[in-house]
Amino acid sequence: MLGGASKIIMLSQRKSIFLLPISLVFAFMLVGCIAADGSDAATNGYDPVIEVKPNSALMDQPVQIVLSNFNPGENVTIQARMRYTSNEVWESWATFSVDQNGQIEVGSQIPLTGTYHDIDGMGLFWSMEERRDIDASFSRAPLDPINIEFIAKNDDATLAIAQIERLLVDPKVVRQPVRENGLIGTLFLPSADETEYPVIIVLSESVDSIGESKAALFASHGYATLALYYFRGTPHPGDLLNVSVEYFGDAIAWLQAHDSIDGEKIGIVGASRGGELALLLGSFYSDIKAVVAYVPSGVVFQGIDSKSWESQPAWLYKGAPIPYIPFAFGDFQIHITEQTLNVAPIAYAHLYRDSYHKVDAIDDVTIPVENIQGPVLLISGRDDQMWPSALLSELVIERLRNRNHPYSYQHLSYDGAGHGIFPPYWPTTKNQYYQLSTGQLITIGGNARDDAFACVDSWDSVLEFFDSNLMDKQ
């Protein structure tokens, strides 16, 4: 389909996106479950169990959780606990009433209370809240599986325990560090098979280092991926400053010469400033045939220097700065003062919005997205407080429409969602952070429930987009 449109998506429009069919419940028998030692048996004489299916799956795959052999009518609380680092634990919980068959089907029952409040089979995942808990003996590499423990309790008594693992990458995926031709990054191949794969260049956000987890997940869905390191490191700038566009052209040429890459099927995905960059690179390089930009901007802003607010370029082409919008600090300084006095988080969206509206020659700083030689998919949150990604994405749609872009384009804008839209079933409860360079508390907007919906719905659309445009799946 040629042409495109913007679509505002509200949580009330969702179908059963977090749920699995209840008919599948009866297929999940004694998988990934154990009874806690010393727990009281239910009235049917069997020990209570927590059944989870599948008990090992990629992180973007939903699971079914069923509690069986409990006393009908009693209230049971199920807790979920995930240790991510040696000092970081995430936890959630929900209390349910056991049905007349002695079961709790998490995907089809409303919690009586808990960290989420609707029927949602994956609510225990996205509603996890961070808690500091030190375990010096714990160690895991960034792409190692993550274990999640489920505990069923009645008052203080533990009735059953189950543990599952969430995979950040399919075991068949091959990871290859890249340190050649001036490139710094990681190449992921879906398998060691001697075949050519379509490839997705994965650009990290401006707060991330390399974006390996997202690249590994795309590789688990059949794509070769190249996660590129382009800031905060040697030989590249210490912050998001003076990054050469030609660096990415070198990456494209390197991919096209690789035996495992189909050089005719190159896509790109980026988020935040990486989303801005994905659109920019798509407009520069005709070899890029599909562009996905999460919470992006259709105009170029100044670079980010953690030590100074001095106006400096983020991107260079042939050694010269690509025209950009400098920050306008007047009203934003008032916002910082007000928020500091009220002990409230700072929203950088004010800075970016004010700076955008104060630019006279807007065409000079607008990305020429009509030059992109393929379809475009944009994803934004309408409550984005890092920068106004819904507004900045709509600029792209308007430009593509006004210039009769010959390929399809779409903007998915999620009501209530903020800046934190990423692959699904990861905790979405943290939308405030302390900025390392200033110590200030900042907000990225959104809320856990709406962000979680945006993550699931957009991920399905992203996979379908790449499948139809790089895999030739219709």
Q: Could you report the per-residue pLDDT of 49-62, keeping only the tens digit for each?
A: 999 999 999 999 99
Residues 100 and 40 in one domain: yes
Domain containing residue 264: CATH number: 3.40.50.1820
Q: How far apart are CA 70 and CA 33, in angstroms?
A: 14
Residues 81 and 223 in one domain: no
Question: What letters, b where the CB count within 10 A reaches 16 and e where it falls short, cover 277-303?
Answer: bbbbbbbbbebbbbbbbbbbbbbbbbb
Domain containing residue 83: CATH number: 2.60.40.2240
Closest by CA to 200, choosing from 182, 184, 214, 180, is 214
Cβ count near 30 (within 10 Å): 9
Identify the domain boundary among 114, 146, 167.
Answer: 167
Residues 59 and 80 in one domain: yes
Residues 175 and 323 in one domain: yes
Q: Is the pTM of this model over 0.85?
A: yes
Residues 152 and 173 in one domain: no
Do 270 and 296 touch, CB atoms closer than 8 A? yes
Residues 117 and 147 in one domain: yes
Q: Which two tokens stand for residue 310?
A: 């001095």
Residues 212 and 303 in one domain: yes
pLDDT of residue 17: 46
pLDDT of residue 84: 87
Q: Is residue 465 part of a domain?
A: yes
Q: Is residue 430 part of a domain?
A: yes
Q: What are the φ and ψ backbone dihedral angles of 57, each rounded to 5 degrees?
A: -160, 160
Q: Which two tokens stand for residue 13?
A: 């429009």
Q: Is residue 131 part of a domain?
A: yes
Q: How far apart are CA 39 and CA 270, in angstroms?
A: 49
pLDDT of residue 106: 98
Q: How far apart are CA 159 and CA 65, in angstroms?
A: 15
Q: Is residue 22 part of a domain?
A: no
Q: Which two tokens stand for residue 308?
A: 């100074």
pLDDT of residue 158: 96
Q: Is residue 94 part of a domain?
A: yes
Strands 88-97 and 129-132 come out as: antiparallel
CA distances, 130 to each of 94, 125, 250 (Å): 16, 12, 40
Which positions of the chain have pLDDT values less than 50?
1, 15-41, 207-208, 234
Do 228 and 202 touch, CB atoms closer than 8 A? yes
Angle between helices 330-341 and 349-357 (to 10 degrees): 160
Q: Is residue 14 part of a domain?
A: no
Closest by CA to 225, choosing from 201, 197, 193, is 201
Q: What is the pLDDT of residues 398-444, one digit of tens each?
A: 999 999 999 999 999 999 999 999 999 999 999 998 876 677 889 99
pLDDT of residue 7: 77
- For the chain, the domain total comes to 2
On the CB side of 150, CA atoms within 13 Å amount to: 32
Residues 174 and 142 in one domain: no
The H-or-E segment that residue 215 falls in is: helix 212-220
Residues 311 and 439 in one domain: yes
Identify the domain boundary among 124, 144, 167.
Answer: 167
- Partners of 325 in beta bridges: 301
Q: Is residue 349 part of a domain?
A: yes
pLDDT of residue 24: 39
Residues 159 and 188 in one domain: no
Q: Is residue 20 part of a domain?
A: no
Residues 154 and 261 in one domain: no
Strands 315-317 and 320-321 come out as: antiparallel
Q: What is the pLDDT of residues 183-202, one digit of tens each?
A: 989 999 999 998 999 999 99
The H-or-E segment that residue 388 falls in is: none
Residues 435 and 404 in one domain: yes
- Partners of 292 in beta bridges: 269, 377
Domain that holds residue 42: 31-167
On the CB side of 375, CA atoms within 13 Å amount to: 19
Identify the domain boundary among 137, 167, 197.
Answer: 167
